[in-house]
Structure 1
Amino acid sequence: MLFPDSLGAPSAISVSALALYLKEVLETNDILQNIWVHGEVSNCKNYPSGHCYFTLKEGDAQLPCVFFKHARLRAAAPSLRDGMALAVNGRVSFYERDGKLQFYVDAVMSLGEGALFRKFEQLKARLEAEGLFDSARKRPLPMQPTIIGIVSSPQAAALRDMIRTLRNRYPLAQVVFAPALVQGAEAPASIAAALDLLNEHGEADVIIVGRGGGSIEELWAFNEEVVARAIARSRIPVISGVGHETDFTIADFVSDHRASTPTGAATAAVPDITDWQKDLADKQQVLTALILDQLADLKDQMTYITRDLQRASPQNTIIQRRQQLDEYTDRLQTHMQHIISLQAERLRGVSLQLHSLSPLLTIARGYAVVRQQDQTVVTSVQQVQPGDVLTIQVKDGQLSAEVRPS
């Protein structure tokens, strides 16, 4: 309520005061403190603490519910999941921090499966019977894709996460984006058309169909038959990355590979280049070690071969032979010198003998040597005839003489 102040201007109460007032109004209404409400469970989240948060839906209306651990244990309640039809007992209150009305559950009663869950199971059974889920028809993902096709909403944070993951893991790949609605009545046809468009384009090696988490209604487009058929007829392998780890859709069963999240789908689509870099570094280290080992072995072999060559080398023999040659040369020179000395002595002896026998000595004493023209020594008058010309050798020269009769 607004109350005018002394100046006529209205005064306002604080948000905290209003929230507390709403909380008191709801909690003091006896009808709202012990009431049964029925609907279908959606967006169910079970936390490690044991608390369960979900939305109870019917038609276009929804009611946020909280089922605390102590209440679950006291009521021996079964595990809740999306698609269950429940009747819940509890009270209505106002949660000041989030500014929203909440239903605090004390007990639950299962009413079977909800309409959405039954629709999901019926389509799943029919497509499975057709063989669309068979592992034999699922194709392997390319090891090194060149082009990645993505079907998602342009405004989705999941799209940014996928592109960032692809760039970080494998910047060599290109991305071809086919925008589509991923939520609402027109989303199934939009997703199917985007898949068909990428197949017509034909350059993508793999296609990612993804969106972030949400309630069963928000993810329902991926449970529609038109999307399942589009994935099944795709000539290009398809990876589904819809919602969170616990979310399963019909698209997951038909796709060639199911990832728990859009980021997981991007991770599955491409290799991690850091793994390649690490593997390359490891191989380079191994190769370097092998080369160094090989070089060390070759060095050892070279050392052994050098030693063998040195041992087998003729150099040592040549050195030895040179030394022997020097020794032989020295000995030969000594021997030759000795022989020459002996021959010189002999020559001197013969010379002395010749000298002592030389007619020159006789001539020197006043004798002469008479020779015919043919140098024959005349020792008898019988050797010459009158008219022969003779040569007479005396001490200091030669004389010519003619023989005359006596």
Structure 2
Amino acid sequence: MHRTKFPVIDLMQPPEENRYSVSQINLHLRRLMDSIPALQDVWIEGEVSNFKRHDSGHVYFSLKDSQSQIKGVMWRSDAIRQRALPQNGDRVQAHGKISVYESKGEYQLYCDRFIPLDQTGDLHAQFLALWQQLEAEGIFSPEIKRPLRPLPRRIGIVTSPTGAALQDVLHVLQRRYPLGEVILSPTPVQGETAPPQIVEALQRVDSVGVDVILLVRGGGSIEDLWCFNDPRIAYAIRATQTPVVTGVGHEIDTTLVDGAADVRAPTPSAAAEIATPDVSAIRAGLRAVYEQLRTAAQTALTHHRESLADSVHKLRLLSPASDIRTLRQRLDDQRSRFARTVTQGMLRRRTLLEGRVRALELSNPLHLLARGYAIVSHQGKRLSRADQVTAGADLEIKLSVGRVNATVKEILTDES
């Protein structure tokens, strides 16, 4: 009797691929939740309970409603930025992300911002009313948006001179488009007194003839950004003669000035990128055009040479010897004229392209060193003002060729 061997399956033992340790399943769940975009940017309304601030500075709490609750934590770095922390019984909106605390197998809210619920409602209602008012007046109409200039020569920046937003914008401009002249119109960008000063800063920079204006500010709470919901700033943007790009707060923040601007960017850095081209891309484009012209000219020259050669061959077959000599002379003349015409055209185009490339290269700040300028640094930071150093400070001066180390003996300002 023939017997077939079958694998023996123990129904009491789970298959190997479905076995997990506790740590493995918690890690898997955390990675799964972290991969869901909707859980990485959430607002949760609820009543605060079990609120406790640990000695480390971290804050632990629960948010509850009539049916359920969720645990939450706010790290010390976020807690110290809050204007005021809630207490048990307060109703709030909490912003953050949902993830799993692996060691306890609990999902919780990792909070970075609290907003009192009553305050949120009042500010939101004010914002909606102002938005509807300006929208009805046509301030946000797409038809009045102005296009940005492709190659701005002068770039106006309206922001705080001490804020991180200015440094972010300058870093992007230095990397992408160092050819433009930057004009800063300083202003406070927070508080009740900020709106009229922002309006004045916009008018001031618009009057000096810039090609684009960047109105920027870093992120903050709804209260920090509230000055940008002042209608006076929106009206001032539409009254400028220059296109305005706003980059206020983060991507999730929207203010009245964003609606009034010609272009709204999610961040200050993005505003700088939107307003300027990339110099490296311009150079690559010019090189590509040059290659296209060169290839087209060579192709045309080859085609006409072949056509002329074919004509000579036909004439030899069809014409008497005397006529051939005459026609050959004419063909030689035509060939010479054509070659001169093509060569002159190529030279004109090459001269034009070389001039544009030279203009770009001469705009490089390092070329200024060869004309007698210098770059002065102190402790690795470039200096633009005398009051950035004190007497006795060691300086490094970069010249066109070589470097010079020097020590400050005296500080002189323009007023002294």
Partner of 1:88: 48
Return closer, same or farther for 1:133/1:278 CA change in 2, 3 Å cut-off: same
Instruction: Report the Cα distance in structure 2 between the residues aligned to 1:149 and 1:313, rounded to whole angstroms.
Output: 76
Summarize deviations over 1:237-272 as a string: whole Å, max 9, x none: 211111111111111011111011111111121223
Whole-angstrom distance in 1 between the partners of 2:321 and 2:247: 80
Give, in whole Å, the separation in 1 of the partners of 2:132 and 2:259: 11
Instruction: For 1:35-184, list aligned pairs within 5 A.
Output: 48=34, 79-80=42-43, 86-94=46-54, 96=56, 100-108=57-65, 113-184=120-191
Return the offset for 1:95: 6.6
Work out whether residues 246 and 257 of structure 2, in 8 Å CA contact, stay in contact via their aligned partners in 1: yes
Identical aligned residues as a percent? 35
| Match of residue 241 from structure 1 | 247
- Which stretches of structure 1, 4 residues or longer, exceed 3 Å deviation after superposition? 47-52, 108-113, 308-313, 315-318
Partner of 1:392: none
Q: Distance in 2 between matches of 1:103 and 1:317?
A: 102
Does the CA-based 8 Å contact 2:316-2:324 persist in structure 1?
Answer: no
TM-score (norm 1): 0.53
In structure 2, the partner of 1:216 is 222
Would the aligned equivalents of 1:90 and 1:107 in 2 still touch at CA under 8 Å? no
CA distances 1:58-101 after superposition (whole Å, capped 9, x unpaired): xxxxxxxxxxx8xx9xxxxx9417xx7x53233313173xxx24
**Counterpart residue identity of residue 136, structure 1:** E
Structure 1 CA distance, aligned partners of 2:321 and 2:55? 105
Q: CA RMSD in A?
A: 3.2
Equivalents in 1 of 2:51, 2:323: separation in Å? 112
Give the TM-score of the pair, scaled to structure 2. 0.52
**Matches of 2:141 and 2:278 in 1, distance apart?**
29
The residue that corresponds to 1:290 in the other structure is 296
3-state DSSP of counterpart to 1:80: strand
Q: Given residue 177 of structure 2, which amino acid in structure 1 is its aligned partner?
A: Y
What residue number does 2:305 align with?
Answer: 299
Distance (whole Å) between structure 1 residues aligned to residue 201 and residue 323 of structure 2: 88
Deviation track 1:136-175 (CA, whole Å, cap 9, x = no partner) reads: 2222222332211110111122212212323433333222
Q: Deviations over 1:114-157 (max 9, x none)?
A: 33222222222222222211222222222332211110111122
User: Relative to structure 1, is the Cα distance of residues 317 and 268 closer, same or farther in structure 2, using a 3 angstrom cutoff?
Assistant: closer
Please list the CA deviations of residues 328-348 of structure 1 after superposition, one character each: whole Å capped at 9, or x if unmatched.
Answer: xxxxxxxxxxxxxxxxxxxxx
- In structure 1, how many angstroms separate the alpha carbons of the residues matched to 2:163 and 2:51? 36
Deviation at 1:217, TM superposition (A): 2.0
Unaligned segments of structure 2, at least 5 residues: 1-32, 66-90, 93-116, 326-416
The structure number with the bigger radius of gyration is 1
- In structure 1, the gaps of 5 or more residues are 1-46, 53-68, 73-77, 319-406
Superposition map of 1:202-351 within 5 A: 203-311=209-317, 312=319, 314=321
Q: Which residue of 2 aligns with 1:362?
A: none
Partner of 2:207, secondary structure, is helix
Pick which of 179-188 and 253-262 moved more: 179-188
Q: Following the alignment from structure 2 to structure 1, what is the Cα–Cα distance between the partners of residues 200 and 140?
A: 21
- Separation of aligned partners in 1, 2:248 and 2:34: 23
The number of equivalent residue pairs is 242
Shift of 1:228: 2.1
Which residue type is aligned with residue 298 of structure 2? Answer: L
Assess if the C-alpha contact under 8 Å between 2:168 and 2:268 holds in 1. Answer: yes
| Aligned 8 A contact 2:244 2:262 in 1 | yes
Cα 1:245–1:313 shift into 2, 3 Å: farther
Paired AA for residue 297 in structure 1: H
1:310 Cα offset (Å): 4.3
* 1:16 match: none
The answer to whether the 8 Å contact 1:95/1:102 transfers is no
3-state DSSP class of the match of 1:185? coil
State the distance in 2 between where 1:139 and 1:95 align.
54
How far apart, CA to CA, are the structure 1 residues paired with 2:240 and 2:248? 18
